[in-house]
Amino acid sequence: MSFSSDVKKELLTVENTPCCDIAQSYGVLLFGRAFSKTEISILTENSDVASVYAKAISILSGISPDISISDAGNFSVNVTDRKVISTILENLGLGDGTLKKRVNFAVLGSECCFSAFIRGAFLACGTVTDPAKEYHLEFSSSSRGLCEDLIKIFDETDIEPKCTVRNGSYVVYIKKSSEIEDTLSFMGATESSMSLMGAKMYKDVRNTVNRRVNFENANLARSANAAARQYEAICFIRDSAGLDSLPDELRLTAQARLNAPELSSAEIAAMLPEKISVSGVNHRFRRIAETADRLRKKKEKSKD
């Protein structure tokens, strides 16, 4: 089962007051496939959503419609009876002869009704991505006006959804993880909101660990490359002029590197008889590298 399905399953357990029953039913019907004077219908893969849609029609009309299932496994509820539709519209304050696919805010009489309405809209047309993959919640509708009204409802919160057009549909979407958490809580899916927070914390910890591991690996790679260059320079000096040609402090440091080519500069510093800092050891290795460069140039000149 997907995260989106889990959210809808949780939303279906929210207990509504009578006014919120109307508000949720309004959201489900308005954001379904069709909402007009001739047809009110929905098509969904979720049998529970089809059931809540049928319940919404029953609440607003007193008639319990049938739920059909297609060969593809989709569930549909379809009402075309003009009398039933007329009763639904009248109970939603839309029986004045004009029907625009916009939100009638008069139906949302109390503050709690806004949450119920959004819950209904999400059940009808909403999806949310698994937070383990990415953060994305959206409502999809064929009506620009509905999307604009949906955003107006969110204006009463700290949530700031955006609107776009995709494949001929208008999409209200939220991508900030904190705003998705707030939206889930606002709709009543508090457990899903907590799950998203947990997934976000896990991702944050994992990313922090990965950054530290990458940083340490990069440091190890730099240290290994530096040690290899130092070892090569020391071998060249040994084979061309001999280590005894170096000052005592450089000879001791060079010999320590030859004896332990895999150690870091800090570990080389600990091996030396005198107390010396890591920067001091690195300074000696730079002098050794410069000596090797001079010997190479001298060798090249002698060839000429």
pLDDT in tens, 268-303: 999 898 899 999 999 999 999 999 999 888 888 876
pLDDT given at position 205: 84
pLDDT tens, residue by residue, 213-231? 888 888 888 888 888 899 9
In the block, tokens 């509504």 appear at 16
CB-based contact 106:141 (threshold 8 Å): no
Q: How many whole angstroms separate alpha carbon 26 and alpha carbon 108?
A: 9
Q: How confident is the model at residue 149 (pLDDT cuts 50, 70, 90)?
A: very high
Q: How many whole angstroms separate alpha carbon 111 and alpha carbon 105?
A: 11
CB-based contact 192:10 (threshold 8 Å): yes
Q: How confident is the model at residue 115 (pLDDT cuts 50, 70, 90)?
A: very high
**Mean of the per-residue pLDDT values for the chain?**
90
In this model, does residue 263 exceed pLDDT 60?
Answer: yes
Q: Distance between alpha carbon 270 and the CA centroid of its chain, in Å?
A: 47
Q: How many whole angstroms separate alpha carbon 148 and alpha carbon 155?
A: 11
Written as six digits, the tokens of 271 are 């091996």
Q: Nearest to residue 34, comparing CAs of 100, 93, 78, 87?
A: 78
Q: Nearest to residue 248, comparing CAs of 218, 219, 287?
A: 287
pLDDT given at position 97: 52
Q: How many whole angstroms separate alpha carbon 25 and alpha carbon 79?
A: 15
Q: How many whole angstroms separate alpha carbon 31 and alpha carbon 121?
A: 6
In this model, does residue 239 exceed pLDDT 80?
Answer: yes
Q: Nearest to residue 285, comparing CAs of 297, 276, 275?
A: 276
This prediction's pTM: 0.70
pLDDT tens, residue by residue, 16-66? 998 999 999 999 999 988 988 899 999 999 999 999 999 999 999 999 999
pLDDT tens, residue by residue, 70-109? 989 999 999 999 999 999 988 888 866 556 678 888 888 8
pLDDT given at position 96: 60
pLDDT tens, residue by residue, 127-137? 999 998 899 99
pLDDT given at position 304: 61
pLDDT given at position 184: 95
Q: Nearest to residue 237, comparing CAs of 274, 187, 288?
A: 288
